[in-house]
Chains A and B, each alone.
Chain A
Amino acid sequence: MPDPEITPDTIAEHGLSEDEYQVILERLGRAPNLIELGIFSAMWSEHCSYKSSRRHLQKFLTAGARVIQGPGENAGVIDIDDGDAAIFKMESHNHPSCIEPYQGAATGVGGILRDVFTMGARPVALMNALRFGAPDNHGTKSLIDGVVAGIAGYGNCVGVPTVGGETNFHPGYNGNILVNVMCVGLARTDNIFYCAARGVGNPVFYVGSRTGRDGIHGATMASAGFDGDGGEKRPTVQVGDPFTGKLLMEACLELMATDAIIAIQDMGAAGLTSSSVEMANKGGVGIELNLDHVPQRDRNMTAYEMMLSESQERMLMVIRPGREQLALDIFQKWELDAASIGQTTDTGRMVLVHHGKTVCDIPVAPLAGDAPDYDRPRASTKKRVPLPVADVPEPRDYRDALLRIMGCPDIASRRWIWEQYDRHVMADTIDSSQSGGDAAVIRIHNTHKAIAITTDVTPRYCHADPYEGGKQAVAETWRNLSAVGADPIAITNCLNFGNPEQPEIMGQFVGCIEGMNAACRVFDYPVVSGNVSLYNETDGAAIPPTPAVGGIGLIRDLSRRGTISGAEEGDTLIMIGETTGRLGSSVYLLRIMGREDGAPPPVDLESEKINGDYVRQLIRNRRVNAVHDCSDGGLIVAACEMALAANTGVALNPVGPGPHHGWLFGEDQGRYLLATAARSVNPVISTARDLGIKACSIGTFGGTGVSCGDILEVSLAELRTAHEDWLPDFMES
């Protein structure tokens, strides 16, 4: 095939600007051919180069006493004592899930699993953070159906429990759903694998599924210009194969127990291109690949297609010379295709040979090092004024308002979702979505230790005030981990935003990052991995800013942990933290008043920290029977959730002469509810006061319903029905 000419159109179709193309010309000292252009375009895409976000991500706190590996590798690594390491990361699969929800979500799970086992960890838990459009928006239901089935289809099959997550509905996601998945794995600190290739002349192995024409980016050209078979336009959707994913995971972990691997990298976005460039670049070596040896699924694949294919379930590794056979034997045992497709070199260049011809010969360093790095203009979000309680009407009927809130899309039980996930496989799930608890708890096999995992963000708040919303997202993970008695250690994140070329969006992005970072610094809670998903918009309508945060904590002794469900008849309900009745941007305002205005509740990071530290201390000293944080819906919702989990009613003390809606539904931050046995009440409250922490007794557990003086009374059965029925009824309607 004659080499097609590179025209301005070709360059534009590859998403490269003229300036970017000029840099390529300079670095090469000549015009690139199409393959080379494709490789530059993939490496310099937003997805691979983080060109709009890089300089802002660098602001994050990324170091800490427990950080073994911060951002920059496939996943972050933290030390969790005794030679154990937790390896984790969150990633988005938004765009693919909009096009094909099942496969998009499934391949998202496959991808995040590979990121984690690539580093030598056995994945032990999956989480999913989902945002859908309004329930009544056309398509919402089938998107939920497909996404949940896709996550289940992949995670259940590979046998990694899906233990938690979050789900939001908002018209802001009508055109752009978000599917963020997180994986946590465990490894030994002395057996962690990295992607930097080392040495010269070492064999480069390809293993896993064969390469097909899946998800090729320059789709316009690739399918029209290069597909000799003609006929139907090839879909570019990637299809997940969890069976091969599982085999690949087992084979890699088996090989990692030997000394055969020098470097390993999964093939994610921009497949063979980004994996080989990253390996070579990080190791400071060159790489030469013979594409004839790449296992191929489709006939007559071009070099361009092979380099840009996003076929799933593939890995690239540099093998120690002399260990080739060992590697091949293990891959054969697991019935995987594997081939030696090239070697490392000392040229610092990426050389590709196809059909005996050199089809690409470019320096590696500029692909990564000279990637664009933009300081995009930004405009900050207009500050909203706080909304005084007095300006918000009370509900006509508190009981009715409570039932509506318990059954509203923001709060209703997600059972319909998580019952489709295998939450128990591997036999170490101690707590999961099933309890409705604040964080999932996964035991470290054969020990009494556990890790706690949560994902949180409140897009309503981020939209109202990116900085406060960013702070709140981190604070809520920290609070959720504290509520189960885990010491919060580190976070990962997935930053989902609209078009960064719009100053307002860039303002949201930077605002959220700065807010998140402020919280990370106060909590000494570093960011060790993450992912950015931009351009989530349709017809100029961007999603609400959604910086999803995934937090990890350590429970040293499983016999001393907090649960949501332990309240006993007669226990006193204690509130930790201050309530002023903040209804701005609250669920009450949205679902009862149909409004979304007002400043969101601010997070006082200092009191957040001392409150959380205190709650963990109480859990460790076995002072509390149950713990739950207050978040969406305020203290009454949290109290109802505790009552439902324990199957014990609770009577709240009415406070003051009213109005009560600020007290009951206000979303003040930094608060926890505790169920405490009579003998512990005084010590818990007085110690809190000594520490300068607001604490008061606000009710008593017992009976079969939830009440608050003569303001409201409702049976647990009614609450349960309201809470449990909304989602299944909606999905079946």
Chain B
Amino acid sequence: MQTAVIVFPASNCDRDAAVALKKVTGRDPLLIWHRDTSIPGDVRFVVIPGGFSYGDYLRSGAIAARSPIIRDLVARAGTGLPVAGFCNGFQILTETGLLPGALLRNRGLKFVCRAQTLAVTNIESRYTSAYAGMDHVTFPVAHHDGNYFADDGTLNRLEQEGRVLFRYVGNPNGSARDIAGICNGAGNVFGMMPHPERAVDPLHGGTDGLGLFTSIVESL
């Protein structure tokens, strides 16, 4: 199955994402440069990788979210193409408006890199079905701006609609209501600050991240 990773200047988890996608699909994903203007038609799943696109200058994800490729990404997401953003990818997705809210500086103001326990709060989504029977997973977090914020109305709606897919157990960054990962109303666009793509190999210290990729790939 064809998948793709969008690469921005100073994306740096593009390789991490590519390794995970290859592991699950058996095929190298396309790497799409941010200046391209369209995502090839056969691409079934797009990952926006972590990193420091544009050095996180201005606001994390802000400049990347105005890249040429984004117009087509938004259009295709609107027609149901699954798009997942991890870490900087999540920040970019909120900046494009594909996901609600924003990511502020961590409460502790420091970059934080550690293994993070997460509660899987909805196993019925396209991104979490493989976690049936697993309450908790451990993914690494590695971010400076991971403090999820949205107004109360938005938070309530996310919760009511079952769109909060992961919550932190032991909040590392001050995120509202311990939110670690959310999806859009249609369930095809997903973003989270932790890095499932860095937990796909026993040598990483765990393989909990694989379930996320198998879930979405099997839903196609």
**A residues adjacent to B (C-beta < 8 A):** 149, 152-153, 156-159, 241-244, 246-247, 334-335, 418-427, 429-430, 434, 443, 445, 558
Q: Which of B71-79, B95-103, B111-119, B128-136 is found at the contact surface with chain A?
A: B111-119
Choose from B20, B57, B113 the contact partner of A423 (Cβ within 8 Å): B113
Listed stretches B148-156, B160-168, B178-186, B193-201; interface member: B193-201
With a cutoff of 8 Å between Cβ atoms, the chain A residues found around residue B20 in the complex are 427
Partner of A426 from the list B16, B54, B113 (CB cut-off 8 Å) is B16
Q: Given the known inter-chain contacts A157-B52, A420-B113, please indicate yes or no for A243 contacting B203, CB distance below 8 A.
A: no
Tell me, yes or no, whether B80 is within 8 Å of chain A by CB.
no
Pairs of residues from A and B, 9 with the lowest C-beta to C-beta distance, nearest first: A159-B12, A243-B55, A157-B52, A427-B16, A422-B142, A246-B10, A420-B111, A424-B198, A152-B111
In the bound complex, CA of A244 to CA of B52 (Å): 11
Which residues of chain A are within 8 angstroms of B198 by Cβ–Cβ distance?
Answer: 424-425, 427
A residues within 8 A CB of B204?
424, 427, 429-430
**23 chain-A/chain-B pairs, Cβ below 8 angstroms:** A149-B110, A156-B52, A157-B56, A159-B10, A243-B10, A243-B52, A243-B57, A244-B55, A419-B113, A419-B114, A421-B111, A423-B142, A424-B198, A424-B204, A425-B13, A425-B16, A425-B142, A425-B198, A426-B12, A427-B19, A427-B201, A429-B204, A443-B203
B9 contacts which of A247, A429, A445 (Cβ < 8 Å)? A247
B51 at interface (Cβ–Cβ under 8 A)? Answer: yes
Contacting pair B111 A247 (CB below 8 A): no
Tell me the smallest distance from the CB of A404 to a CB of chain B, in Å.
27
Query: Which of chain B's residues has its CB closest to A429's CB?
Result: B204
Q: Which of A242, A246, A424, A558 sits near B142, CB closer than 8 Å?
A: A424
Cross-interface CB contact of A425 among B12, B57, B112, B201, cutoff 8 Å:
B12
New contact pairs (10) apart from A157-B55, A420-B111, A430-B204, CB-CB < 8 Å? A158-B10, A243-B52, A247-B9, A420-B112, A422-B142, A423-B142, A424-B195, A427-B198, A427-B204, A443-B203
Known: A243-B10, A425-B13, A426-B16. A159 touches B52 (CB 8 A): yes
Interface residues of B (CB under 8 A from A): 9-13, 15-16, 19-20, 50-52, 54-57, 110-115, 140, 142, 144, 195, 197-198, 200-201, 203-204
Measured CB to CB, the nearest residue on chain B to A422 is B142
Question: Which residue in chain B gives the minimum CB-CB distance to A731?
Answer: B110
List the A side residues contacting B57 at CB < 8 Å: 243
Contact B197 A427 (CB under 8 A): yes
Q: Is the interface of B mostly helix, strand, loop or mixed?
A: mixed
Complex Cα distance A159/B15, Å? 10
Complex CA distance for A443 and B15, rounded to whole angstroms: 14
For residue B7, which residue of chain A has the nearest CB?
A250
Give complex CA distance A422, B110 in Å.
12
Cβ contact within 8 Å between A242 and B111 = no
> Is B12 in contact with A334, judged by CB distance below 8 angstroms?
no
Pairwise interchain contact B15-A427, C-beta atoms closer than 8 A: yes
Nearest chain B CB to A244 CB, angstrom units:
8
Q: Chain A's nearest CB lies how many Å from the CB of B213?
A: 13
Cα distance, A159 to B56, chains bound together (Å): 13
CA distance A426 to B142 in the complex (A): 12
**Chain B hits for A418, CB < 8 A:** 113
Bound-complex Cα distance A156 to B204 (A)? 18
In the bound complex, residues from chain A placing their C-beta under 8 Å from that of B54 are 243
Of residues A244, A246, A424, A443, which shows the largest number of chain B Cβ atoms within 10 Å of its Cβ? A424
In angstroms, Cα B146 to Cα A538, docked, is: 41
Q: How far is the CA of A427 from the CA of B206 in the complex (A)?
A: 12
Closest chain-B Cβ to A294's Cβ sits at a distance in Å of 23
Smallest CB gap from B51: residue in A: A159
Given A159-B13, A246-B12 in contact, is the A421-B52 Cβ separation under 8 Å?
A: no
User: Which residues of chain A are within 8 angstroms of B13 by Cβ–Cβ distance?
Assistant: 159, 425
| Nearest chain B residue, comparing its CB with the CB of A426 | B15
Is there an interface contact between B52 and A424, defined as CB atoms closer than 8 Å? no
Cβ contact within 8 Å between B203 and A422: no
Most chain B beta-carbon contacts within 10 A, residue among A159, A429, A445, A558 = A159
Give min CB distance, A558 to chain B, whole Å.
7
Which residues of B have CB within 8 Å of A558?
203
Report the Cα distance A419→B114, complex, angstroms: 6
A residues near B56, Cβ cutoff 8 Å: 157
Chain B residues with Cβ below 8 Å from A430 are 203-204
Closest Cβ–Cβ distance, residue B173 to chain A (whole Å): 12
Asked if A247 contacts B10 (CB within 8 A), the reply is yes
Q: For the complex, what is the distance from the CA of A434 to the CA of B138, rounded to whole Å?
A: 15
- How near does chain B come to A547, taking the closest CB pair, in angstroms? 30
- B81 CB, nearest partner CB in chain A, Å: 25
Q: Which residues of A contact B19 (CB under 8 A)?
A: 427
User: Which residue in chain B gives the minimum CB-CB distance to A247?
Assistant: B9
State which of A152, A242, A426, A429 has its C-beta within 8 Å of the C-beta of B55. A242
Determine the distance from Cα of A730 to Cα of B189 in the docked complex, in whole angstroms.
43
Bound-complex Cα distance A153 to B111 (A): 8
Chain B residue with Cβ nearest A450: B203
Contact flag A335-B9 (CB < 8 Å), given A419-B114, A426-B15, A427-B197: yes
Residues of A within 8 A of B16 (CB): 424-427
Q: How far is the CB of B4 from chain A (nearest CB, A)?
A: 18
B9 adjacent to A246 (CB under 8 Å):
yes
In the complex, what residues of B have CB within 8 A of residue A157's CB?
A: 10, 12, 52, 55-56
Contact B110 A242 (CB under 8 A): no
Cα distance A427–B203 in the bound complex, in angstroms: 10
Identity of the chain B residue whose Cβ is nearest the Cβ of A159 in the assembled complex: B12
- The residue in chain B whose Cβ has the minimal distance to the Cβ of A160 is B12
Given that A421-B113, A424-B113, A424-B204 are contacting pairs, would A156 and B142 also be in contact in the complex, using a CB cutoff of 8 Å?
yes
A residues less than 8 Å from B50 (CB atoms): 425
| B9 cross-chain contacts in A, Cβ below 8 A | 243, 246-247, 334-335
Q: Which residues of B contact A158 (CB under 8 A)?
A: 10, 12
Q: Which residues of B contact A159 (CB under 8 A)?
A: 10-13, 51-52
Which residues of chain B are within 8 angstroms of A152 by Cβ–Cβ distance?
A: 110-111
- Using A425-B13, A425-B142, A426-B15 as known contacts, say yes or no to A419 and B55 having CB atoms under 8 A apart: no
CA distance A157 to B143 in the complex (A): 10
Residues of chain B with a CB closer than 8 A to A242's CB: 10, 52, 55
Bound-state CA distance A244–B201 (Å) is 32
**Interface-centre pick from B13, B57, B111, B200 (highest chain A CB count, 10 A):** B111
Shortest beta-carbon distance from B123 to chain A in Å: 26
Give chain B residues whose Cβ lies under 8 Å from the Cβ of A419.
Answer: 110, 112-114
CA distance A256 to B117 in the complex (A): 41
Chain A hits for B15, CB < 8 A = 426-427, 445
Closest CB of chain B to A354's CB: distance in Å?
32
What residue of chain A has the Cβ atom nearest to residue B20's Cβ?
A427
A514 CA / B48 CA spacing, docked (Å):
52
In the complex, the chain A residue whose C-beta lies closest to that of B115 is A434
**For residue A446, which residue of chain B has the nearest CB?**
B19
